[in-house]
Structure 1
Amino acid sequence: MPYLTYEEFKELIDVDIDGQQFNNLLPKASAILDNVTNHFYARCDMDKDNSWRVNKFKQALCAQIEYFHSLGATTFEEINNAPQTFSAGRTSVSNASRYNPSGANESKPLVAEDVFIYLEGTGLLFRGVGVW
């Protein structure tokens, strides 16, 4: 069973993503959140968990879907596949870095930073050993 329906998605976030795009992005976004949360909701029933935490998880899932949609990619390789420089005739264009003096681009993360904003304080980012 998916963590989020398209109707819930439209209620939680105001982004122009149609149902087909949502259905294409949901599985990978769910896998990313499963990894970040140590597969918490794969082991625990969302219907029986604290509704505040479930809502935060769903908001994080929406943020991840929006991130994938805005980048037009769902894999690390696709996200970071922009060339450093390219030339057309005598014109050369460089994608210089804001942070690296050598000009080399930093790689973009697979997980949206907003995911951590939503999950912070929920306990879902806990990486210690737990007894289930």
Structure 2
Amino acid sequence: MEYLTFAEFEELNGRELDEATFNKLLPKASAILDNATSHFYQMNKMESDNQWRVGQFKRALCSQIEYFHVLGATTFEEINNSPQTFSAGRTSVSNASRYNPSGANESKPLVAEDVFLFLEKTGLLYSGVAVW
């Protein structure tokens, strides 16, 4: 089930992205949001849900696609696979952490922070026990 069309992505997202890249990133981004929302839209129809909540979900999906596009990666390993330091001749470049005094890099998350901005207050992030 596709949650978002390319036309909707263009309408909701301010940045340009070609359709081939969108189609490549959509399945993984959808899987990430399914995980974050406990697969809510796998068990409930988007068409019959509150349209504001559906809109927020689609905006979150756009954010996740954009996050993957900007990073050029879709897995945790790819996202966090940058070297701590590298040298070329007598020049050395270090990617020290802003937060860790030892200089070790912190991991970047697989889920874009913007996803949570769109999904908070929608009920889609509820992680309690649901009784069906």
TM-score by shorter chain over 0.5: yes
Contact 2:86 2:93 survives alignment (8 Å) = yes
Instruction: Tell me the CA shift for residue 89 of structure 1.
Output: 1.6
Distance in 2, matches of 1:91 and 1:80, equals 23
User: 1:63 aligned to 2:63?
Assistant: yes
Instruction: Supply the distance in 2 between the matched residues of 1:2 and 1:115 (Cα, whole angstroms).
Output: 18
Correspondence for 1:131: 131
**Root mean square deviation, CA, Å:** 0.6
> What is the number of equivalent residue pairs in this alignment?
132
In 1: Cα distance, 2:20 partner to 2:71 partner? 17
Q: CA deviation at 1:14?
A: 1.2
Unaligned runs of 5+ in 1: none
User: 1:120 — aligned with what?
Assistant: 120
Amino acid at match of 1:60: A
- Hey, what's the Cα distance between the residues in 1 that align with 2:14 and 2:90? 43
1:6 aligned onto 2:41: no
4+ runs deviating over 2 angstroms: none
* 2:36 is aligned with 1:36: yes
Matched, 1:73 2:87: no
TM-score (norm 2): 0.98
Q: Distance in 1 between matches of 2:95 and 2:71?
A: 16
State TM-score, norm by structure 1: 0.98
Supply the AA of the counterpart residue of 1:78: E
Identity, % of aligned pairs?
Answer: 74
Q: Partner letter of residue 54 of structure 2?
A: V
Q: CA offset at residue 6 of structure 1?
A: 0.3
- Please give the secondary structure, in 1, of the residue aligned with 2:87: strand
Report the equivalent of 1:107: 107
Amino acid at match of 1:47: E
Whether the aligned pair in 1 keeps the contact of 2:10 and 2:16 (CA below 8 Å) is no
